Structure 1
């Protein structure tokens, strides 16, 4: 009975982390690239406006330049932090259950 409960617990967390990880992995992947191209085009939009209207759009050009790089690196590091975080816990539960399965089995 204890072995069955352990196996149930292991498989539950194994598939839970598996699907939860991949769901948010692709979610932040598309979210990251959406904002990347969004600020990318805004950046060049104000960049060309800057050449035509130097004084008036100078502030907006610097503003969107700053936020372009800020959000770009923010989501970049957040995405990879999230990726390795769930990758680590995914295999942590896997080896944890693997160990206790053979411990109780043998």
Structure 2
């Protein structure tokens, strides 16, 4: 259990980029499912202003579903969030953050 906790806390502070190389934000915290002992989301701050314009108020953060994560290393790579945000917005008619 200790190594799992260490792995989870090591995510905090890492920069998050889309697989197309676009900076998304920085991990401030993680969202956990206690029952399954798994990470379900990454709480991001220092968001890319262009990417989240009109979706998140200045100074606020966003939670990215962990299922979007493609790789974890020195940085975290996620599926192309720009395409996802645009397609989610078109599908639902609402902004997604």
Q: Same fold (TM over 0.5)?
A: no
Q: TM-score, normalization: structure 1?
A: 0.23
Higher strand share: 2
Question: Which of these two proteins has the greater Rg computed from alpha carbons?
Answer: 1
